[in-house]
Structure 1
């Protein structure tokens, strides 16, 4: 296998200015391989977001890539390689995009367009919700109704109780329920019966949450101890609407649950369009 690694720095070469923010290409790394393995072929573009407003935000992510094309007309969009997770803003706000490999004859990426999101979670703007005594708040929506999102803490016992109370309700009875309650009943009943009937639930070091609604607004969920220190988890898993979080110890009732969601006041979206990005 023959691998050729090329790297270049293009600081402030090409910029997109919007809402007093400047987005520029700071670095491109391109790797090609004769192997059929896709991991041997990649083009990684690092973007830098600068401007005074950036310092008001804690996290950044690429919201979407709408166009990526080289000067040979090859479409470089690579949705499988780019996720929508936020990353922490340190001294500078930088984020990476991975595209498909440009044509060998290509000298530039003709256009790279999309949107960057800056995010600042706190209680004042409604994007950070802190909940005490969470273990006594099963089967209820933990978020404000206006959020457009439901997050519900589940245990094997609380789920069994909910199913028992709602599974045998006739369709006519469900229709009489308020819309939110009806959707919750339909979404929960039967949705996770296989999971909660398995022996896997004997593991006491994990917690289940049901997430319903606009899941794109759901950013993170974690716990703090009595001193406000974040409890580190050792993994998480998502299966449709069920989110599972794993810990090194059995979750403590004294822990405080912290949920981060996107709100209009916590978010700033910056569209960008970069033209004629020189390839290495």
Structure 2
């Protein structure tokens, strides 16, 4: 395979200034290949967010890309690269996105526009929910109050019990339940057939069912008695089911911490960059 790699670091003066934030392009890495594999054909753009307002937040992510087009009229939005995670803001706030390769004739990205989200989770604004004795709170929504998202802790025994109690309920009975409870019952019953197999003895993982607006679900982790975050081995998502892996069996004395987006914890900032010079 003949692969040609073009990597150019450009510290550009092109900026978008909105809501006391300045968003600029700090670096562009472009890869081209004769392969049809998208992994070898991509344009990675790094954005830098600066300004006094950024200091009030701990995390940042790209919420959406609304337009990306080069000066030849080629649409650069990569639909396979539009799911972004929050990144911690350190000394500088930087985020990356991947677009399709611009036309070889193109000299600039004519327009790159979208939206970023600044996020600051804490208990006061309702975006950080700390739950003690989590192991005794299975099959119930752990998110308090009215919310667009439901998060449920599952175990093998609790899931089997839930299915047994609800699988024979008729549609008329389900309609009588509160909306949140009805959605939970419909979503859980029969959704994970074979999830808890008889030979699954891995006690170092935990399951959570997430329903509703999953885009508002940011993170889930444990803290020990001193408030120290317990590091994970990894995580996996399959539709509404989230699985988390740990080095050891989760301790009942650990505290469960949920991070979700709320209106008071998140700030949406639109941006528009024009005539971004290409490598």
* Superposition TM-score, scaled by structure 2 size: 0.96
Tell me, in whole angstroms, the C-alpha distance in 2 between the residues paired with 1:4 and 1:183: 49
Segments of 5+ residues of structure 2 without an aligned counterpart are none
Q: How does 1:29-108 map to 2 (within 5 A)?
A: 29-108=29-108
Deviation at 1:200, TM superposition (A): 5.2
Q: Which residue of 1 aligns with 2:234?
A: 235
1:245 and 2:244 are equivalent in the alignment = yes
Higher helix fraction: Structure 1 or Structure 2? 1
Q: Is the 8 A contact 1:156 1:201 kept in 2?
A: no
Is residue 264 of structure 1 aligned with residue 254 of structure 2?
no
Q: Deviations over 1:10-61 (max 9, x none)?
A: 33x1111111111111111112223333322221111111110000111010
Which secondary structure state, in structure 1, belongs to the residue aligned with residue 159 of structure 2? helix
Q: C-alpha distance in 2, partners of 1:203/1:120?
A: 34
How far apart, in 2, do the equivalents of 1:146 and 1:172 lie? 24
**How far apart are the structure 2 equivalents of 1:23 and 1:200?**
52
Q: Which secondary structure state, in structure 1, belongs to the residue aligned with residue 138 of structure 2? A: coil
Query: Match for residue 6 of structure 2?
Result: 5
Partner SS, residue 140 of structure 1: coil
Q: 1:1-280 alignment to 2 at 5 Å?
A: 1-11=2-12, 13-196=13-196, 198-199=197-198, 201-280=200-279
**Distance 1:251-1:175 versus aligned 2 partners, 3 A rule:** same
Q: 1:169 to 1:74 in 2, by over 3 A?
A: same
Q: Is the 8 A contact 2:65 2:82 kept in 1?
A: no
Distance change in 2, residues 1:153/1:7 (3 Å): same
Residue 277 (structure 1) shift: 0.4
Structure 2 Cα separation of the partners of residues 278 and 235 of structure 1? 38
Partner-residue secondary structure (3-state), 1:202:
coil
Q: How far apart, CA to CA, are the structure 2 residues paired with 1:6 and 1:164?
A: 58
For 1:218 and 1:144, locate their aligned partners in 2 and report how far apart those are by CA, in whole Å. 14
Q: In structure 2, what is the Cα distance between the partners aligned to 1:144 and 1:88?
A: 26
Counterpart CA distance in 1 for 2:47 and 2:162 is: 48
- Segments of structure 1 that go 5 or more residues without pairing to the other structure are none
Alpha-carbon shift at residue 194 of structure 1 (Å): 1.9
Alpha-carbon RMSD across the aligned residues, in angstroms, is 1.3
**Runs of 4+ that moved beyond 4 A:** none
For residues 36 and 178 of structure 1, what CA distance do their matches in structure 2 show?
A: 50
C-alpha distance after superposition, 1:68-124 (max 9, x if no partner): 011111111112124220011110111111111111111100000100111000111
Give me the whole-angstrom Cα distance separating, in 2, the residues matched to 1:145 and 1:181.
13
Aligned length: 278
Q: Distance in 1 between matches of 2:77 and 2:90?
A: 28
Report if aligned partners of 1:220, 1:259 keep a CA contact under 8 Å in 2: yes
Counterpart Cα distance in 1 of 2:23 and 2:266: 17
Separation (CA, whole Å) in 1 of partners of 2:241 and 2:37: 33
